[in-house]
Structure 1
């Protein structure tokens, strides 16, 4: 064996200690995911080839929402991760503890060097998922799942510049829920939260995947559409107002009051920066809200 492939006793001792440290780190980060019941797995024969193994299939794992079911990677302990998609996976935490005694896992950790390699991979995956989770917390609204004002601060200049470079229009629509404070006072904040979530879901369903949706705070929302000109934006405004009426009459409505909102839009290149876009859209939104209020008052007076 060449010198580069040799491992002396001191190096082996170090690798063994490192391996134990990594295992301890992984298990300690999973303590808060403890399950009340132990899961038992059948052990596969040693003769199986690691390259073809998929333990979630062979061990008849029933966790069908686990990312492993859609992955071609045979290392379920890497695919499942401790924060899959930013969500804690309590069942996986227990499963990973079982991995240490699983013959499938042990085929990849049958030597100290291989064990260190696999455990480093697990730590990297775990930390990567944690980083993704923390990033999501920083840029996403926890209630609606839409982007938040923090993220808007990062991308507003970029979106304007991108539209300018492509000589393409950029449109925004701002939204404000009607009478939201009164609804909150009458039904409570939990119902208010459900209304905000329902409106966020409504906007997501009515817009393109390439559009950017934000909850700016309270009952204020924002839609950014790169490549959308003024006529297209006005068409979308009309479509949204029609769609919400249909939504209020449909079985999708799960809140005690109808969804109602005012909106206003602005399109480049007239405004020179994003702040001007927001100011113009805000003015139109408040004008829309005022006209709706005046119309309601007129109907009351004529009744």
Structure 2
């Protein structure tokens, strides 16, 4: 187990190298000049060139990348041009809202998905099963910004049940914290639930056709006991994989919802940094998000052994 964890952690290094090169290349070939954005539309070309020289943006791209990579090896991701603070400080200030949103969305999504997936298996071939699959198809197909806009119109504008935007930290009170996250978390949770529901149903149906299930039925074991005590545990490995992937996607890809609901998370930080060409923040945030995603998947891998003792990581 220890060797497996070390190998997985070492695998982060080449991943970060590739991600760093790709992100650096993309943002530097994209039109836009951070020096011009900093100085404003009234700035002269001479002033812009002077600032670019001061920031090192006039140097060849390989040299700029090497200077950034040297700082990265020393644990320095650089400093934001616009926020006047280190990239790591800016990232971790925004990580709290993103994690709160992702955790609440995942709780909603997993709870709903397991309930719907198990119900679909118990009612296989009925209108209930077809309705669950219809929900799953709709959830996978509908864009998050469209569903979010519809929810704002219904629950915030019409019914006035929940705030339409904004964020309150946990220090402002648990209910106040959850109330501002409930609407965006529900939007994300429903979309996640659609995918997890399909996997739950598919995995359970596959297990329920197994020989050991037929043996249990022949022995007179009750259907509920077979489903919940035996089948669900065996089927949970692929379900857990999808849950881990979806949670990693929530942490790394909630930018649209954070922008729509004005949540000061990592996604909104990256979107704002792209619009003003804050190179250091974009590069550093994407790298840290990549590391977060790798750690989420590593955690899921370690949970396999707890869910099914037959699984031995690092061995065939």
TM-score with structure 2 setting the length: 0.21
Which structure has the greater CA radius of gyration?
1
More helix by share: 2
More strand by share: 1
Which structure is higher in RCO with an 8 Å CA cutoff and minimum separation 6? 2
